[in-house]
Amino acid sequence: MRIAKRAGLKLRPAETTYSRPDSSEENLRRRVAILGIIIVTAFVVLFARLWFMQIVSGNDYRKRAEGNSIREISLEAPRGRILDRNGQVIVKNRNAPTISVVPAEMGDERKAVVSRLSRLLGMGVDEINQKIDKSQSPNQRAVLIRNDVGEDDITYVSEHRQEFPGVIAGTRPVRDYPYASLAAHVIGYLGEISPEALEEKKSKGYEAGDEIGLSGIENTYDEELRGRVGSLRLEVDAQGNSIREISRREPAAGVSVRTTIDKNVQELVEASLDMGVQMARARQDAESPKPYQATGASAVVMDPKTGEVIAMASYPSYDLNSFVGGISEKMWQELIAPANLYPLNNRAIMSEIPPGSTFKVVPALAALTEGTFDIHSPFDCNHVFTTGEFKDYPKTCWSTHHHLDLFNGIIQSCDVVFYNIGYNFYNRQKDIQGRPLWEYARDFQLGKATGIDLTSEMNGRIPSPEWKKEFNKKNPDFQVWYPGDTVNMAIGQGDILTTPLQMAYVYAGIANGGKFVRPHVMKTLEDVDGEVVNEAEPEVATELDMGPEHLAQVTQALTGVVQGKGTAAATFEGFPVNQVPVAGKTGTSEIMGKQPTAWFCCFAPANDPKYVVAVAIEQGGHGGESAAPVARRILEGLFDLPAQGEIRPSTGD
């Protein structure tokens, strides 16, 4: 085939062009490829891991997660301390090694765990179960099983957690009573809050399972003493090991209570009271073939001008340390057993007893105020009182005093003198003249609680026609107010009832010129730095509308009780009455079916009273023989006087 050539046109082969790629572009492509490989590999590994966790090990991980739980631990605030008036610590705190359990964390293993704890702690299985079951704590809160466990026990539980799910080995602040039973009834004891108390206190931050004061100062000032409870929330595994802390609120310590109690005087009073009880039990009851039982006793020392209670003792007593960490059922039964004479009772404010002749100061001052008798009005005591309605039902005096006046009637405690005064009040009451005797008794703050800042104080009783009608509303035959009702009251017998503190209050009012300053046991409240945050001020409850001359006359008569022909003269023989004049009164009260109760009330120095002392020994005999010796011992200690060797008991009322 021929190809024609065109003029001027030259033909040549076509050129192929080629250029090499740039090196930077090549690197970028390589990196992208590597990154892609890494990402793909990571996804493959992650997918494989998820597949392994969910499919192969899923059950195991689910079990572990289900085993974790939240544990809420209360961080108990150290309670405030309790001090005596001079700053001596009578109640403090200490950190105790403890074993507690969280019921919810024991689950199905509770029986086995309790069995192991029983062997470890030497406690009965029933005792441990009882502590858990009786606790009001929510299941997630710890229940204390035992305080003061050994370090070996703490270590064992910590190292064998898998054997003790729900068990906590740690420490907590607990009460420490260095003087055991000293002032036990004033201090009071602690225990778990009851459902009723919780309902009342829930709005104030109290919770189920909280430990609160159940008596004494611990109860009255519980809100101040308890401080603010802290809390700790932890995540724990199935063995109880802490995984992490979720939240924490630190506790705040409570304020301290400085009391009016003088530790040294309290020790003196308790020792003196114990002496009096033993003396009474060693003495034969003249009206029966057996010794006096002296089933209980109490004594009060107070400042009449301020109302401060310097000492308050009750016999029998108990060791406050028994309640630390919760009292055992066995010990509780012992404390409430009648055979043990109810040692938990504060007899100074709970024993309601006829005051006997210690009450005679009331009708004496009432008669002087009414103007029906004066301090030297004459009387005849021939052992019996047969005036008016009593001709056929004579009343007797414990002795025969012959001719005497009201002044000496107080000194010698002549019943006939006061039968006459009581009978006069009855007749004036019948004729609606003047005020009745029971109204005067109420002027002396009797028939109602003194208002002391202690729990469980009793009111006592001042009988009246209205009271008798109400008391016997189901027995109309017993509603009539007879002359004997007023006459009996005039000697502190019949239906009248008083507590030892009430009688101390009566004598404090007389000692203080008719002013009744309410008794109290809190002096100050102090923060952790010792700064006073609250202070008790003397509170005048009432003032007698009686002439100062009458108070002075009765006081002078009371100074004669401890000397000369007085009913406590033998007991106070050798006592320096010129140096420390004592105004006092013996009393012997009777309750049907029981032995007589011995009383003695006094204040000293009579011319400038600093202390009032009241002593009562239940079923302990006569005032001069059993109660007066106790009061003397107390006065010797109060005024730093040399103690008499063996005190001779007085005979008579």
Return left, alpha or beta for 447; rule: phi > 0 is left, psi -120 to 50 is alpha, else beta.
left
| Residue % of the chain over a pLDDT of 70 | 89
Q: Per mean pLDDT, which range of 192-206, 499-513, 612-626, 628-642 is the poorest?
A: 192-206
Question: Does residue 273 carry a pLDDT above 60?
Answer: yes
Which residues 6+ apart lie within 8 Å of 328 measured at CB?
127
The listed range with the strongest mean pLDDT (125-134, 245-254, 292-301) is 292-301
Can you tell me the distance from the alpha carbon of 489 to that of 363, in angstroms, rounded to the nearest whole number?
9
| Per-residue pLDDT band at 221 (split at 50, 70, 90) | very high
Residue 114 contacts residue 125 (beta carbons within 8 Å): yes
Can you tell me the distance from the alpha carbon of 569 to that of 156, in angstroms, rounded to the nearest whole number?
67
The model's pTM: 0.86
Question: Does residue 13 carry a pLDDT above 50?
Answer: no
The listed range with the strongest mean pLDDT (48-52, 203-207, 217-221) is 217-221
Can you tell me the distance from the alpha carbon of 453 to that of 218, in angstroms, rounded to the nearest whole number?
11
Q: What's residue 24's pLDDT?
A: 62
Q: What's residue 62's pLDDT?
A: 52
Question: Does residue 169 carry a pLDDT above 60?
Answer: yes
User: In CATH, what number does 70-259 get?
Assistant: 3.90.1310.10
Q: What's residue 653's pLDDT?
A: 83
Q: Per mean pLDDT, which range of 14-23, 430-439, 477-486 is the poorest?
A: 14-23
Q: Per mean pLDDT, which range of 18-32, 86-100, 230-244, 323-337 is the poorest?
A: 18-32
Q: What's residue 649's pLDDT?
A: 86
Residue 363 contacts residue 546 (beta carbons within 8 Å): no
Question: Does residue 564 carry a pLDDT above 80?
Answer: yes
Within the chain, all domains assigned CATH 3.90.1310.10 are found at 70-259
- Mean pLDDT computed over 500-513: 99
CATH C-level class of 349-579: alpha beta
Which residues 6+ apart lie within 8 Å of 40 measured at CB?
none
User: Hey, what are 370's tokens?
Assistant: 């009414």
Give 20-74 pLDDT, tens digit per residue.
445 566 666 776 667 667 776 766 666 666 655 555 455 544 544 556 777 777 7
Residue 285 contacts residue 56 (beta carbons within 8 Å): no
Q: How many CB atoms lie within 10 A of CB 57?
A: 11
DSSP string, 116-176: HHHHHHT--HHHHHHHHHH--S-TTS-EEEESS--HHHHHHHHHTGGGSTTEEEEEEEEEE
CA dihedral 105, 110, 115, 119 (to 10 degrees): 10
Within the chain, all domains assigned CATH 3.40.710.10 are found at 349-579
Nearest in space to 207 (alpha carbons), one of 137, 135, 140, 132: 137
- Burial pattern 151-182, b for ≥16 Cβ within 10 A else e, equals eebbebbeeebebbbbbbbeebbbbbbebebb
The mean pLDDT value of the chain amounts to 90
Which residues 6+ apart lie within 8 Å of 120 measured at CB?
153, 156, 157
3-state helix, strand, coil in the chain (%, to 5): 40, 20, 40
Question: Does residue 362 carry a pLDDT above 70?
Answer: yes
Bridge partners (DSSP) listed for residue 96: 172
Residue 130 contacts residue 60 (beta carbons within 8 Å): no
| Helical ranges in 283-436 per DSSP H | 329-336, 347-350, 361-370, 406-411, 415-430
Q: What's residue 230's pLDDT?
A: 84
| Per-residue pLDDT band at 75 (split at 50, 70, 90) | confident
The listed range with the strongest mean pLDDT (23-32, 200-209, 438-447) is 438-447
Q: Which residue has the higher pLDDT, 431 or 137?
A: 431
Question: ω before 576 within 30° of 0 (cis)?
Answer: no
| Per-residue pLDDT band at 438 (split at 50, 70, 90) | very high
Bridge partners (DSSP) listed for residue 92: 176
Which residues 6+ apart lie within 8 Å of 479 measured at CB?
468, 469, 472, 473
Residue 486 contacts residue 423 (beta carbons within 8 Å): yes
User: H or E segment at 589?
Assistant: strand 583-589
- Mean pLDDT computed over 596-606: 98
- Mean pLDDT computed over 571-589: 97
